[in-house]
Amino acid sequence: MTKWIILVLAPLGALSSKNWILVWVFLEFSSMMFILLGKNKTSSECLLKYFLIQTLGSVFIILSMSLKMLASFKSLSNSTSLLSSIIIMSMILKAGMVPVHLWMIQICKSFKSLYLLLFLSIQKLAPLGILLMSSNIILFSIIMVMNSIVGTISQLYSLNLNIILTFSSISHSGWIILSGMNSLEMFMIYFSIYTIIISQILVNFEKSKSKEILSMSNSNSTIISFMSLGGLPPLLGFFPKWLSIHYSIQKSNMKITCFILTIFACLNIFIYLRIFSLSIFKSPLQKKSKDTPLSSTSNFINISPLLFFFSPKL
């Protein structure tokens, strides 16, 4: 129980700390708890790769702290951009974002549902939040576009659940950065909704004991959850995207970036529709799975935004 508490609180501690040493300590706690929780249920090779990548990211943090101390001693005023670049590179590596994302794909293949959920949500919270401490809008725009393009297009070439959700996480990382550039509240809203949706998907697949998306094409709950993950209006996943675009266009001149993200979000929805439609047409006589209380709850959560349209005006 203690490990779970530390796993949840460590990213929050890293985000709330103003001292880089404490940030580094909390990030290490988060990584170590993830490894300890998965040591008996995940392959040692995957955990070793994860450990090495996180260690490399931590080395960059320590390097930036050392350079900062050296710069303060020698009164170097032009070192700020270098230190910021090192920190950004460290967080991109730890979060598994483009262009250093391939390690994520390699280790996610063998993760079980619970650890995949932890890896794609809690473990990415602190690196993404720390990344947003920088104020380089041009660099952020490049990162957002790259992650959206690579994360979306790569989903065309797999039907494995773990791989698709991992590439989807890469694509959503760009959207999470966009939301975080508006406000901390928007960042947490987007991240929370994203976590809820992938939790629904993983619970459905855990019940079926399958890792292939085609095997769940007869599940209404799974189809709705994937459409929500893609951002199909008026499902739950559409609204954080819409709010992020709305406030980004109002606050900053990011129309081109928002347009590109929107195009690839539409492509993402098309990919999910294509996967499920192909499966349904190949096996049209396949019986629909019965709705359980859990799947009904999942459907209600995803369509809950519709209540706002039909609620009486106050």
The Cα 237–Cα 228 span in angstroms is 5
The Cα 104–Cα 48 span in angstroms is 12
- Where along the chain do its domains lie? 2-310
Single-letter residue type at 299: N
The Cα 155–Cα 262 span in angstroms is 16
As a residue count, the chain comes to 314
Q: Token digits for 234?
A: 């008026």
pLDDT in tens, the chain (314 residues): 788 888 889 999 999 888 888 999 999 999 999 988 877 667 788 888 899 999 999 999 999 888 877 777 666 556 677 788 888 999 999 999 998 998 998 888 888 888 899 999 999 999 999 998 887 788 889 999 999 999 999 998 888 888 999 999 999 999 999 999 888 899 999 999 999 999 988 888 877 666 667 666 667 888 888 999 999 988 899 999 999 998 888 877 788 999 999 999 999 999 998 888 876 666 554 555 555 665 667 666 777 666 555 444 43
The Cα 267–Cα 138 span in angstroms is 24
- Three-state SS sequence of the chain: CHHHHHHHHHHHHHHHCCCHHHHHHHHHHHHHHHHHHHCCCCCHHHHHHHHHHHHHHHHHHHHHHHHHHHHHHHCCCCCHHHHHHHHHHHHHHHHCCCCCCHHHHHHHCCCCHHHHHHHHCHHHHHHHHHHCCCCCHHHHHHHHHHHHHHHHHHHHHCCEHHHHHHHHHHHHHHHHHHHHHHCHHHHHHHHHHHHHHHHHHHHHHHHHCCCEHHHHCCCHHHHHHHHHHHCCCCCCCHHHHHHHHHHHHHHCCCHHHHHHHHHHHHHHHHHHHHHHHHHHHHCCCCCCCCCCHHHHHHHHHHHCCHHHHHCCCC
Single-letter residue type at 285: L
